[in-house]
């Protein structure tokens, strides 16, 4: 299963998230995940595990063109020059010669340089170093200025999203502009989302696990998703969520869960 991107590309529906793995764990998990069928791997300069991710990719033996590899750069690289250096560092650590999707990790509006960061991504894309470029944790107030400055919208926006924190407004805005939404912390980071009674009831209704139900809530709404698991059984379980179809009434019921997300990272106050 995959989704279309506005630049003509496609992105696998489910990927493996690699935060907070260290190099050794990332190597083992990425190799396992690829062997199990994952074709999207999500990392970031900030995670400090790009070398391990790269080793896992190499160990897997998967032809490079069959993998969709995402990385992100941090606020210290928010300049045209900085993005070029960040790309160089990432490809060296990952042991690859191009990145499939490179994202501005956080807008960090206090710094006021995310437009330069976007210009940097456009530059390296023009040089053939990245296939697709996008953003992460960008709200409409951050997306508008980069489009106004460059005339070009990101193809993807990776946001903290799960049924406790559906971010309906930001997602609708992405959709209006043809920006694909991808969910991070889709399982709520193990902070109780999966323990909610409604999750159990609906998982039973569909004969799926609680984790699968929550991931299917992303997929059935057209979002790709990048759950992290270091557990081989759950890696298999999560990937199988692509075959689950949830009725709209249940998607709506999940979106209406009125339980606060305990650790919201707001892009105007948090960012790396």
Ligand X SMILES: NC(=O)c1ccc[n+]([C@@H]2O[C@H](COP(=O)([O-])OP(=O)(O)OC[C@H]3O[C@@H](n4cnc5c(N)ncnc54)[C@H](OP(=O)(O)O)[C@@H]3O)[C@@H](O)[C@H]2O)c1
**Residues forming the active site:** 47
Instruction: Look up residue 211 and give its two tokens.
Output: 């984790």
Of 12-20, 57-65, 82-90, 91-99, which part binds ligand X (CB under 6 A)? Answer: 12-20
DSSP symbol at 137: S
Residue 182 within binding range of ligand X, rule CB under 6 A: no
Residue 77 within binding range of ligand X, rule CB under 6 A: no
Interface map 45-74 toward ligand X (x if CB under 6 A): ------------------------------
Q: Where are the alpha helices (DSSP H) in 100-247?
A: 114-126, 140-150, 168-176, 197-206, 210-219, 232-239
Residue 184 within binding range of ligand X, rule CB under 6 A: yes
Give phi and psi for 131, each to the nearest 5. -80, -40
Residue selected from 190, 192, 200, 222 as contacting ligand X according to rule CB under 6 A: 190
Give how far Cα 236 sits from Cα of 22, 34, 59, 91, 233, Å: 21, 11, 19, 28, 5
56 or 188: whose CB is closer to ligand X? 188
Minimum Å gap between C-beta 102 and ligand X is 12
Cβ neighbours, 10 Å, residue 251: 16
Residue 234 within binding range of ligand X, rule CB under 6 A: yes
60 or 225: whose CB is closer to ligand X? 225
Of 14-22, 51-59, 86-94, 255-263, which part binds ligand X (CB under 6 A)? Answer: 14-22
Give phi and psi for 69, each to the nearest 5. -110, 120
Cα-based torsion angle of the residue sequence 52, 55, 57, 59 in order, rounded to the nearest 10 degrees: -140
Q: Which residues of the chain form contacts with ligand X (CB under 6 A)?
A: 17-19, 42, 105, 136-137, 158, 184-190, 194, 209, 211, 226-231, 234, 237-238
């Amino acid at each position: 299963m995959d989704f279309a991107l506005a630049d003509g590309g496609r992105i696998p529906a489910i990927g493996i998230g690699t935060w907070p793995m260290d190099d050794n764990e990332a190597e083992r998990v990425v190799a396992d995940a690829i062997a199990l069928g994952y074709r999207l791997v999500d990392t970031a300069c900030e995670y400090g595990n790009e070398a391990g991710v790269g080793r896992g990719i190499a160990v897997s033996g998967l032809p490079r063109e069959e993998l969709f590899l995402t990385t992100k750069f941090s606020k210290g690289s928010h300049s045209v020059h900085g993005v070029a250096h960040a790309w160089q560092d990432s490809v060296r650590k990952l042991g690859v010669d191009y990145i499939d999707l490179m994202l501005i990790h956080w807008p960090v509006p206090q710094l006021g340089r995310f437009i330069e960061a976007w210009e940097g991504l456009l530059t390296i894309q023009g040089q053939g170093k990245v296939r697709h470029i996008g953003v992460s944790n960008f709200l409409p107030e951050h997306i508008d200025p980069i489009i106004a400055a460059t005339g070009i919208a990101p193809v993807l926006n990776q946001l903290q999203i799960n049924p406790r924190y559906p971010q309906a407004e930001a997602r609708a805005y992405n959709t209006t502009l043809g920006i694909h939404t991808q969910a991070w912390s889709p399982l709520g980071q193990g902070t109780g989302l999966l323990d909610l009674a409604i999750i159990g009831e609906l998982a039973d209704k569909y004969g799926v696990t609680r984790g699968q139900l929550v991931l299917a809530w992303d997929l059935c709404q057209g979002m790709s998703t990048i759950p992290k698991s270091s557990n081989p059984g759950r890696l298999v379980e999560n990937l199988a969520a692509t075959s689950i179809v949830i009725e709209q009434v249940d998607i709506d019921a999940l979106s209406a869960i009125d339980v606060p997300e305990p650790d919201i990272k707001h892009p105007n106050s948090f960012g790396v």
